[in-house]
Structure 1
Amino acid sequence: MLSFQEKLAIMEAFPELERKNVSLGRVNFHYERSVTDKKNVGFHFHPNGNGYVYAGELEGVAADEKGFVNVRDFSAEELRELVKRSIQSLTGEASWREGDEETWRDSESQELVLKFEDEMWYVFSGLSLEMAFESREEAEAYLKEEGFGRKR
């Protein structure tokens, strides 16, 4: 079992995570750029050895009802890999495959399509290309600025 300090060192090695000290000596690690309402990647890391990593969006990972996995007995490599996958799942990009698309609609029922191709994010109005972006985050920011939301 990794020590508390070893687990913290692994978590702190991810520059995209922000450390948050919480009560009873526990430490959380937030991913502020999450595209979901989930921000905690690391939750309640404690000197007693317990700690949890969010895996609610990951296939093939046994998580609790809130989407967390207890990493008490994880090896360094297992912890690194789970944290990496967790961060990817919260960017929204991990689940997208070549050709995937999603429809966005504004208050006037106009629709734009966000499509992932050739490692780029494209926004289409019908067959016309509106914009192209290098990340989903940029594409979604553009769509939101233009008054669009995901079609439900």
Structure 2
Amino acid sequence: MLTFEQKKAIIETFPELTKKEISLKRLNYHFEDSLYEKTIVVEKLHPNGNGFVFVGDMPSYSDVAVKGLVNIRAFNEQALKEIIAKAVAYLSEDTTVEEQWEDAKGQKVTLLFEQRSWVVYFEGNFEEAFGTYEDAVRYLKDDGFDKK
């Protein structure tokens, strides 16, 4: 397990992050150029080595806490660098993912990931929005749609 000082040194290799001291000698690291309201990438880095990194709803992290945070207490150097890089990319890219879905009647819908929401469009018109990909897929499958 990395020490507080080691984690701090790794985090500070990301020039786009700004350190802010908070209570109990803990540190937050902000990404001020975030495209979203959320700017804290590393949250509550504590002298005991505990801390969190914001990953939102990135599908590659299954151990996410309620607020989209992953505990980095046991992370090694490579894992810490990787998660911080992904978090910065997540907050700085207006990523759009698009999928086509079709039902047995040949009706087509589009599922788009836009601005952190999964949105279903039918014939170009807004149909429904979801907070997670899983909820959107469940909705589409319940209505008889399959991914094409």
**Range of TM-score over shorter length:** 0.5 to 0.7
Number of matched pairs: 100
Give the distance between the partners of 1:60 and 1:6, measured in 2 at CA: 25
Equivalent residues in 2 for 1:96-115 (5 A)?
A: 96=96
Instruction: Give, as a single letter, the amino acid of the residue that structure 1 aligns with 2:73.
Output: R
Extract unaligned runs of 5+ from structure 2: 99-111, 115-148
SS in structure 2 opposite 1:84?
A: helix
Q: Is the Cα–Cα contact under 8 Å of residues 17 and 31 in structure 1 kept in the other structure?
A: yes
Report if the CA contact (8 A) 2:42-2:52 is conserved.
yes
Q: How far apart are the structure 1 equivalents of 2:18 and 2:96?
A: 25
Shift of 1:96: 3.7
Listed one character per residue, the Cα deviations across residues 81-131 of structure 1 (whole Å, up to 9, x for unaligned) are 0000000000124x3469x897xxxxxxxxxxxxxxxxxxxxxxxxxxxxx
Normalising by structure 1, we get a TM-score of 0.61
Secondary structure at 2:35's aligned position in 1?
coil
Aligned-pair distance for 1:59?
1.3
CA contact (8 A) 1:42 1:53 kept: yes
1: CA distance between counterparts of 2:22 and 2:82? 24
In structure 2, what residue type is equivalent to 1:12? E
- Number of the residue aligned with 2:16: 16
Provide structure 1 residue ranges, at least 5 long, that are not aligned to the other structure.
Answer: 103-152
| Cα RMSD (Å) | 1.9
| Letter aligned with residue 71 of structure 1 | I
Indicate if the aligned counterparts of 2:97 and 2:113 stay in contact, CA closer than 8 A.
no
Question: Identity of counterpart residues, as a percentage?
Answer: 40
SS in 2 for 1:8: helix
- TM-score under structure 2 normalisation? 0.63
8 A Cα contact 1:4 1:45, kept in partner: yes
* TM superposition outliers: structure 1 runs of 4+ over 2 Å: 95-98
Contact 1:31-1:41 at 8 Å conserved across structures: yes
Distance across 2 between alignment mates of 1:58 and 1:101: 12
Matched residue SS, 1:78: helix
